[in-house]
C-alpha cells in the first residue's frame, strides 16, 4: 500500500479559523446530545425514581458488559419535532455487548411523555430492528411505555414502517432464529402488549410491570368489571396463570441480571469471518480534521487530508489515481478491518462515475465493505459532459452501488446534493449505516443554486407577461428560497427526521466504523447480482 502525505500547515491563519469554527460545531453537537441524554423534565425523573425504578440510560449501563461501548442509533431523532419531547423521541436504541454478545437494545424512556410512541418513535424502533435483522443481533426490548400517542395516529397506525411493522419484524426475526427478549419494567398496554407477547422470552418486574390489552379503566368501561392492575396484568398473574411471561424479577436490577443470564444461554455467537490486522493509528493527528474542513462552504475541503487522518497508518492503496480524479477510490484499513473507500474530491464527471463503478464491482467480487465519504455538489452539467454520456455513466455507478450486497456505509462529511447524494449511497439505497459530521448538508441542490434556478423560472414567466423586475425585487425573491434550503440541508434536520443514523464528531469516526465493521464481520457473505449496465 501507499502512504498518504499531508501538506497541511497547522500554523496558518486559515487553519486556526477553520479549527475554531469546527470546534464550535462540536460544542453544539455535545449540547444537543446532553439534551437528548437528559430525557424528560426533572420532575419526571423524581417521579420515576420514587417508584424504585432505574432511569432508562442507567438500565442500559447495568445491562451491557462493564466498560464496553454502546453504539447509539438515532440519538437526536425527533429533535424539535414535538412540543415537550426531548431529542430521541422517547426511546433509546443502540448496540451493546451483553454477556459478551452484541445485542440490539431498545429502551422506552418513561420520563418522556410516559414513554408513549410518536410517529418518529415508531420509525426509530423499526430502524433499530432493521439494523438488528441485517446483523442477526439478538433484540432486547426494555418496555416501559404508555403505548401510542393518540393524537399522532396518522403517523403511528395505518402504514408500513409504523407501529405494526414492529410486530412484523419481531415475527420475522424470530423465524430467522434471531432471539427476541423483552423486559417489562412498567406499563405495557393495548397494542403495545404484543411487543413482549411476540418475544421468545419475557421478564417482568413484580409490582411494576403490567401487561394488558385493556387497562382497569378500559375494562370497566367496556364490560363493567372492576379489576385491579395486578390481577389484570401483573407479574404473578402472567407468570403463574396466563403464562404470557416467563420470569419474575423483584426490581429493575434483578430483571437486568436475569436478562444477562438469558443472553448467556443463547448459544454460540457467530464467529468473525474477516481477517483483522493489528489496529494502527493514522500518521497524522485526527484532531487536525477540524482545521482541514473549510469553514466557508464555497471553498472545497481536501479529502486526501481527511483520509490521511482517518485510515490505519495513513495507508491507502489508491485505485486509478490518474483517472477520474474528482472521485478518490482505494483500499485501506480501519482498526485492522479492510474497507473500500469512495471519497469525493470535486464534482462527478463521466470518468469519475466509470471509475466508481469499476471500483464497486471489485469490492463486491472480493467481499470488501464499502465506505462512501460524501462531499459533492452533484454531477457535472453542460453540453460536453452530456455528449460524453454522463447520464449513462452516472447510471452505471448508481446501478453498481445499488446492487452491491457487501456492507455499505455512508458518511456525509460536507455537501451532498442532488444526484450526487443518491450516487454516494443516499438513504434510499439502504446503506447498512449512515452518519453525518456536523458539517454535513444534503438537499436537491445548494441554497444558492436553488434560489438562482427558481429566480430564472420566475424571470422567464415575467418576460412572457411582458414584465420585468429590479435587482432588489430579484433578491427579495431569492432570500426566502435560500432560507428554506439552508434550514432543510443541515445534518441535524436529517437526524431529527430519522433520515440518518446520527451526527458524529469526526474524532468518533474511526471507533464508530470499527464497531460497524466488527458487526459486519459476523454476517454471512451475500452474492451481488448487478443490474444491466448501459454501454
pLDDT tens-place string over residues 477-498: 999 999 999 999 999 999 999 9
Mean pLDDT of 323-349: 97
Mean pLDDT of 227-236: 85
- Residue 163 pLDDT > 70, yes or no? yes
Q: Give the model's confidence band at 191: pLDDT under 50 very low, under 70 low, under 90 confident, else very high.
A: confident
What's the half-sphere exposure (Cβ side, CA atoms, 13 Å) at 135? 29
Q: What angle do CA 467, 469, 473 make, to 5 degrees?
A: 145
- CA torsion through residues 521, 527, 532, 535, sign: positive
Mean pLDDT of 376-380: 91
- Residue 220 pLDDT > 70, yes or no? no
How far apart, in whole angstroms, are the C-alpha atoms of residue 507 and residue 19? 13
pLDDT tens-place string over residues 85-116: 999 999 999 999 999 999 999 999 999 999 99
What pLDDT, on a 0 to 100 scale, did the predictor assign at position 63?
98
What pLDDT, on a 0 to 100 scale, did the predictor assign at position 141?
98
pTM of the predicted model over 0.85 = yes
Distance between the two ends of the chain, CA-based, in angstroms? 32
Mean pLDDT of 292-317: 94
Across the chain, mean pLDDT equals 95
| Residues 415 and 377: beta-carbon distance below 8 Å | yes
- Which domains can be identified in the chain, with CATH numbers? 1-38+276-440+490-535 (3.90.226.10), 39-264 (3.90.226.10), 445-489 (no CATH)
Return the residue matching grid coordinates 454471512: 524
- Residue 199 pLDDT > 70, yes or no? yes
Amino acid at each position: 500500500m501507499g502512504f498518504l502525505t499531508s501538506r497541511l500547515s497547522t500554523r496558518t491563519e486559515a487553519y486556526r479559523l477553520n479549527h475554531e469554527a469546527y470546534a464550535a460545531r462540536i460544542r453544539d453537537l455535545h449540547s444537543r446530545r446532553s439534551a437528548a441524554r437528559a430525557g424528560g423534565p426533572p420532575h419526571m425523573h423524581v417521579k420515576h425514581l420514587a417508584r424504585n425504578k432505574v432511569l432508562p440510560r442507567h438500565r442500559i449501563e447495568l445491562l451491557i458488559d462493564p466498560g464496553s461501548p454502546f453504539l447509539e442509533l438515532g440519538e437526536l431523532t425527533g429533535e424539535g419535532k414535538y412540543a415537550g419531547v426531548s431529542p430521541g423521541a422517547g426511546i433509546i436504541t443502540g448496540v451493546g455487548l451483553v454477556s459478551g454478545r452484541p445485542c440490539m437494545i431498545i429502551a422506552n424512556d418513561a420520563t418522556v411523555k410516559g414513554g408513549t410512541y410518536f410517529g418518529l418513535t415508531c420509525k426509530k424502533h423499526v430502524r433499530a430492528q432493521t439494523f438488528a435483522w441485517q446483523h442477526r443481533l439478538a433484540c432486547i426490548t426494555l418496555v416501559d411505555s404508555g403505548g401510542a400517542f393518540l393524537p399522532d395516529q396518522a403517523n403511528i397506525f395505518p402504514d408500513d414502517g409504523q407501529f405494526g411493522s414492529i410486530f412484523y419484524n419481531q415475527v420475522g426475526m424470530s423465524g430467522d432464529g434471531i432471539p427476541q427478549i423483552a423486559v417489562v419494567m412498567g406499563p405495557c398496554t393495548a397494542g403495545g402488549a404484543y411487543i413482549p407477547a411476540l418475544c421468545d422470552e419475557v421478564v417482568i418486574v413484580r409490582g411494576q410491570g403490567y401487561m394488558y390489552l385493556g387497562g382497569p379503566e378500559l375494562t370497566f368501561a367496556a364490560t363493567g368489571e372492576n379489576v385491579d392492575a395486578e390481577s389484570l396484568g401483573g407479574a404473578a398473574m402472567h407468570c403463574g396463570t396466563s403464562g404470557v411471561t416467563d420470569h419474575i424479577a423483584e426490581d429493575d436490577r434483578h430483571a437486568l441480571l436475569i436478562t444477562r443470564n438469558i443472553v448467556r444461554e443463547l448459544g454460540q455467537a457467530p464467529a468473525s469471518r474477516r481477517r483483522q490486522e493489528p489496529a494502527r493509528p493514522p500518521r497524522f493527528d485526527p484532531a487536525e480534521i477540524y482545521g482541514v474542513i473549510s469553514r466557508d462552504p464555497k471553498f472545497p475541503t481536501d479529502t486526501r487530508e481527511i483520509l490521511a487522518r482517518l485510515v490505519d497508518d495513513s495507508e491507502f492503496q489508491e485505485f486509478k489515481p490518474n483517472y477520474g480524479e474528482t472521485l478518490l477510490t482505494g483500499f485501506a484499513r480501519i482498526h485492522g478491518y479492510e474497507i473500500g473507500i469512495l471519497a469525493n474530491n470535486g464534482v462527478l464527471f463521466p470518468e469519475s462515475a466509470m471509475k466508481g463503478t469499476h471500483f464497486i464491482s471489485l469490492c463486491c467480487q472480493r467481499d470488501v465493505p464499502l465506505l462512501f465519504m460524501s462531499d459533492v455538489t452533484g454531477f457535472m452539467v453542460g453540453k460536453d459532459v452530456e455528449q460524453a454520456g454522463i447520464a449513462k455513466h452516472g447510471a452505471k455507478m448508481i446501478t453498481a452501488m445499488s446492487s452491491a450486497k457487501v456492507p455499505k456505509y455512508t458518511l456525509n462529511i460536507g455537501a451532498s446534493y442532488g444526484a450526487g447524494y443518491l450516487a454516494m449511497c443516499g438513504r434510499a439505497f439502504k446503506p447498512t449505516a449512515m452518519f453525518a459530521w456536523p458539517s454535513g448538508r444534503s438537499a436537491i441542490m445548494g441554497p444558492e443554486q436553488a434560489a438562482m434556478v427558481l429566480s430564472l423560472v420566475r424571470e422567464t414567466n415575467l418576460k412572457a407577461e411582458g414584465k420585468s423586475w429590479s435587482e432588489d425585487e430579484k433578491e427579495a425573491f431569492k432570500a426566502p428560497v435560500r432560507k428554506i434550503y439552508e434550514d432543510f440541508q443541515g445534518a441535524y434536520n436529517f437526524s431529527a427526521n430519522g433520515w440518518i443514523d446520527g451526527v458524529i464528531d469526526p474524532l468518533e469516526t474511526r471507533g464508530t466504523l470499527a464497531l460497524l465493521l466488527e458487526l459486519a464481520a459476523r454476517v454471512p457473505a451475500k452474492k451481488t447480482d448487478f443490474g444491466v449496465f448501459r454501454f
